[in-house]
Structure 1
Amino acid sequence: MARNSFFKFKQFTINQDQCAMKVCTDACVLGAWADVENAERILDIGAGTGLLSLMVAQRNHRATIDAVELDREAYTQASRNTANSPFKNRIAIFNDAIQDFSSDGKYDCIITNPPFFQSDLRSPDLKINQAHHSESLTFQDLLKSIDRLLTEKGKWNILLPVDEGIIFQDLAEKAGWFLERKLTLFHQKEKKPFRLLMIFSKLELADIVDVNSDLFIYGEDGRTYHPEFKKLMKDYYLIF
């Protein structure tokens, strides 16, 4: 996905020149795939450009959404992006660390694309480090924050690279969470998967339930979009 200064969707536009984390395909997949339809209060942890908040606001017409972003410039840009959208009255952006964030009530849905790299080489750009690496939000801190802010019957959605996702799933299950659904994201068949999308809750599913599915962005030619990807993204991407 091209990293231009803005990215135009069917119902909103994301300006991203002030954000280290640009609009990317995997985050768009999370916004379209996450289980948010029945939620009334949604929390977006690590708002970045405001992309996920806007995507879920488009899908869920009654939910109010709070989004927390630590970086000041990203917070400002997310605030502007949401203010210029049709969903501005239902989205509030907060400039805070999620570890310090408090609300007047709990949320019945959380969505997050958190900093994830545990050991990869650092970038010379401090903002990119903060956006990509987990010093500002460890997996343990994220799990504690989710447990504190989510209702007992709530569920949460997360996007991670495959290796980090395997580690995180183990940590989440040891903390008492159950995996409801998992989507493994591939560029195309015969390629390695590059992202895991997962939904957790306190509800334990029956052993016979298969929670796993795969999604390919491209067909076997590596150029044409896969029909299932087009179906998922058709309400957002102008090209579909």
Structure 2
Amino acid sequence: MPNDYFQFKQFLVEQDKCAMKVCTDSCVFGAYINVAGAQRVLDIGAGTGLLSLMVAQRSEALVDAVEIHPDAQAQATENFAASPWAERLRLHPMPLQQYAPRQPYEVILSNPPFFLASLKSDSAAKNSARHTGDLHFGDILLFAQRHLTSTGNLYLLLPPAEAAHFQKAAQAYGLYLSETVEVFTYINGKCIRHIQTYGFAPEDSPVTKQLYIREADKVTYTPEFVELLQPYYLHL
């Protein structure tokens, strides 16, 4: 069983109240997002608050986080308050559809519920966190269309099939894929996630990169992974 907490170099993530725990692909996502120069960042579906904390560590941005589920709201609030960046982290306990910010964001990010059609588990909380029931792709896209700055970026972490679906849906909202990072479990292994970057400028040839978490031996972290996560992981 996962631990009730996950200790990073500069902050602690308590996770006993949340259905979805800290996982490697989420950490890769949080470390990859470009927040250089951003003044306002929004995390859609905060969960434990992991992604908000990761971007707060390496920016001076005000980070807002929206979360609908009471247990996750309480967990993220506790984790924000205990962090070194408490004054820059704000949890909004409401559905995204009801959130109306006064100012736009340079960066919007989300590790959303992503299974469009798959078997559900016996846990209602885990189903809600994993499946597109409370938060649909169209909700994220409509919000980004309205509240992302003209030069801002929307970042998504999705499995490959759902990422392709999101890319097609995004064009109807005037948002275009500029980059995909294909995240693999290990060299010659399976691609488990896509990190997608969207903006308002159409891209004829979106950039595609590969990131491998471990070497072909399935044990050793790759240099790229170590460089990305070294600011966060205790033993890197």
Q: Show the counterpart of 1:123.
A: 121
Structure 1 residues 152-182: Cα deviation after superposition (integer angstroms, max 9, x where no partner): 2211111001111111111113432122221
Normalising by structure 2, we get a TM-score of: 0.96
Q: Residue 191 of structure 1: CA displacement?
A: 1.7
Normalised TM-score (structure 1): 0.95
Q: Is 1:33 aligned to 2:32, yes or no? A: yes
Contact map agreement 1:35 1:199 (CA 8 A) in 2? no
CA distance in 1, matches of 2:201, 2:38: 16
> In the TM superposition, what is the alpha-carbon distance from 1:210 to its structure 2 partner?
5.7
1:213 aligns with 2:209: yes
Provide the C-alpha distance between the structure 2 equivalents of 1:176 and 1:150, rounded to a whole number of angstroms: 11
Where do 5+ consecutive residues of structure 2 fail to align? none
Aligned pairs for 1:63-78 (under 5 A) are: 63-78=61-76
Instruction: Write the mapping of 1:1-240 to structure 2, written as runs, cut at 5 A.
Output: 3-60=2-59, 62-205=60-203, 207=204, 211-240=207-236
Secondary structure (helix, strand or coil) at the match of 1:239 reads coil
CA distance in 2, matches of 1:234, 1:101: 34
Q: CA deviation at 1:69?
A: 0.4
Find the aligned partners of 2:156 and 2:206 in 1 and give their Cα distance.
18
- Change in Cα spacing, 1:96 to 1:210, as seen in structure 2 (3 Å) is closer
Whole-Å separation in 1 of the counterparts to 2:19 and 2:215: 30
Which SS does the other structure have where 1:184 is aligned?
strand
Q: Secondary structure at the match of 2:65?
A: strand
CA RMSD of aligned residues (A): 1.2
1: distance between equivalents of 2:213 and 2:25? Answer: 9
Cα distance in 1, alignment partners of residues 16 and 147 from structure 2? 31
